[in-house]
Amino acid sequence: MNRRIGILTSGGDAPGMNAAIRTAVRAALHFNLEPWGIFRGYHGLINGELQPMTSRDVSGIIQRGGTILKSARSDLFKTPEGRDRAVDMLRKHNIESLIVIGGDGSFRGALSLQEKGINVLGIPGTIDNDIPCTDFSIGFDTAVNTVMDAVNKIRDTASSHDRAYLVEVMGRHSGYIALYSGLACGADVILIPEVPLDLDEVCSKLATAVDEGKTFNIIVVAEGVRPAQADGNGSPAMQIGRYIESKTSLETRITILGHIQRGGAPTVRDRVLASRLAYYAVELAARGVGGKMVGEVDQKVAAFDLAYALAQEKQLNMDYYRLYEVLSAI
Ligand code: ADP
């Protein structure tokens, strides 16, 4: 009997996860491992929702967003009892290694399985790009392209009124989506959790722009921004919008992009990244390596200890922020 390898997707889904699943299954077959799909993340693992997968099971999915293995959150898995049940299930099915495609919460869960003797390999899949030890996580590029498309449309409809268009994007703790998409959209203001926010400064920047004849402004707001000067009611973009209206002559229009950022056909970058990372993760598993996450750094795939990766904090590349500051100040 060939050695068995489990594959699951966990936490928030991200476009490109299917490309990773497809490669993981086919790479497993290439390395003479028997791939097993585990449905609904750790929740499904505990409940025994798993089955062997063939190459045909992953046909025609590379272009699809979401994850054919489904995803879930499991509070039970966070308990010692839940984790014991997960390990028992893997042992019962003779699955010796496990590929976990997800974000940092999923990686914490993976590490706890490694500590119980299951060889786990983490593949970073989250649109937030908040995982250290990789330049980008799977799904980020698609998400920022989705934001860019949306802002392009907002620009099209922006008429010659003096208006500020606030676009709230995902990123509870990380400004990556806001910063990248803001740069790509030529945003006038980008608000991210990593940079202290002074709303009066934002208002005076907008007022100056109006005085200089600018008819509309694009403001990209990360959902994790906490505007201290605002009234605390509603989403950050709503609060900031009201504040701007109270302090300037501008009308505001708010767009909260929400879950559309999670969907859509993955971009070239996400498909290729997912394929490379998944192949490498399975190759490591075939060699009997576990307790690692795989990432791509400077275009090279690399493995990092999960424990090390989880102790790091992903740093936003502030060069991008400085570039935005220069471009939006002129
Ligand atoms: P993401 O992987 O996208 O960050 P979550 O944070 O929701 O998503 O994590 C996904 C799942 O991973 C959780 O539902 C839980 O079952 C498991 N998990 C999260 N944190 C831990 C932890 N500290 N220990 C064990 N399992 C965890």
Q: Does residue 156 share a domain with residue 292?
A: no
Q: Does residue 272 share a domain with residue 133?
A: yes
The minimum-distance atom of ligand 1 relative to the CA of 102 is 2
What is the pLDDT at residue 159? 63
Q: Does residue 36 share a domain with residue 151?
A: no
What is the pLDDT at residue 65? 97
With a 6 Å cutoff on the Cβ, whether 103 touches ligand 1 is yes
Catalytic residue among 104, 128, 141, 270: 128
Domain residue limits at 102: 4-139+266-311
Q: Tell whether 325 is covered by a domain.
A: no
> Which structure tokens are listed for 317?
């590349």
Q: Tell whether 319 is covered by a domain.
A: no
- Say whether 196 sits in a helix, a strand or coil: coil
Q: Are 116 and 89 in contact (CB under 8 A)?
A: no
What is the pLDDT at residue 89? 98
pLDDT, one tens digit per residue, over 119-138 is: 999 999 999 999 999 999 99
Cα 299 to Cα 313: distance, rounded to the nearest angstrom:
20
Q: Are 72 and 5 in contact (CB under 8 A)?
A: no
Residue 272 belongs to domain with CATH number? 3.40.50.450
pLDDT, one tens digit per residue, over 51-77 is: 999 999 999 999 999 999 999 999 999
What is the pLDDT at residue 210? 87
What is the pLDDT at residue 161? 72
Q: Does residue 134 share a domain with residue 16?
A: yes
- Check residue 122 and report its DSSP letter: E
Q: Tell whether 205 is covered by a domain.
A: yes
Which of 10, 114, 129 most suits a substitution to test ligand 1, by most atoms within 8 Å of the C-beta?
A: 10
Q: Are 21 and 63 in contact (CB under 8 A)?
A: no
- Check residue 58 and report its DSSP letter: G
What is the 3 state secondary structure string of 231-273?
A: CCCCCHHHHHHHHHHHHCCCEEEEEECHHHHHCCCCCHHHHHH
Q: Does residue 215 share a domain with residue 70?
A: no
Q: Tell whether 105 is covered by a domain.
A: yes
Which of 67, 70, 77 most suits a substitution to test ligand 1, by most atoms within 8 Å of the C-beta?
A: 77
Residue with CA nearest ligand 1 atom 27: 109
Looking at 202, 233, 262, which one is the last position of a domain?
262
User: What distance, in Å, lies between the first and last C-alpha atoms of the chain?
Assistant: 66
Looking at 262, 282, 302, which one is the last position of a domain?
262
List of residues 6+ apart from 112 with CB closer than 8 A: 83
Q: Does residue 119 share a domain with residue 27?
A: yes
With a 6 Å cutoff on the Cβ, whether 105 touches ligand 1 is yes
Residue 170 belongs to domain with CATH number? 3.40.50.460
With a 6 Å cutoff on the Cβ, whether 77 touches ligand 1 is yes
Q: Does residue 275 share a domain with residue 133?
A: yes
Element (H, E) at 34: strand 34-38
**How many domains, the chain?**
2
Q: Count of CB atoms within 10 A of residue 88's CB?
A: 13
Cα 183 to Cα 143: distance, rounded to the nearest angstrom:
14
In the reported structure, the alpha carbon of residue 170 is separated from the centroid of ligand 1 by a whole-number distance in angstroms of: 18
Which of 45, 75, 81, 108 most suits a substitution to test ligand 1, by most atoms within 8 Å of the C-beta?
A: 108
Q: Tell whether 227 is covered by a domain.
A: yes
Q: Tell whether 173 is covered by a domain.
A: yes
Q: Does residue 195 share a domain with residue 132?
A: no
Cα 121 to Cα 98: distance, rounded to the nearest angstrom:
6
What is the pLDDT at residue 104? 96
Q: Tell whether 237 is covered by a domain.
A: yes
135 has catalytic annotation = no
Pick out the chain residues at pLDDT < 50.
Answer: none
Q: Does residue 8 share a domain with residue 127?
A: yes
Q: Tell whether 250 is covered by a domain.
A: yes
With a 6 Å cutoff on the Cβ, whether 102 touches ligand 1 is yes
List of residues 6+ apart from 123 with CB closer than 8 A: 20, 24, 99, 100, 101, 102, 138, 274, 277, 278, 281, 293, 294
Q: Does residue 171 share a domain with residue 47?
A: no
Q: Does residue 156 share a domain with residue 239?
A: yes
Q: Does residue 37 share a domain with residue 83?
A: yes
> Which structure tokens are listed for 55?
């190459």
Cα 10 to Cα 158: distance, rounded to the nearest angstrom:
39
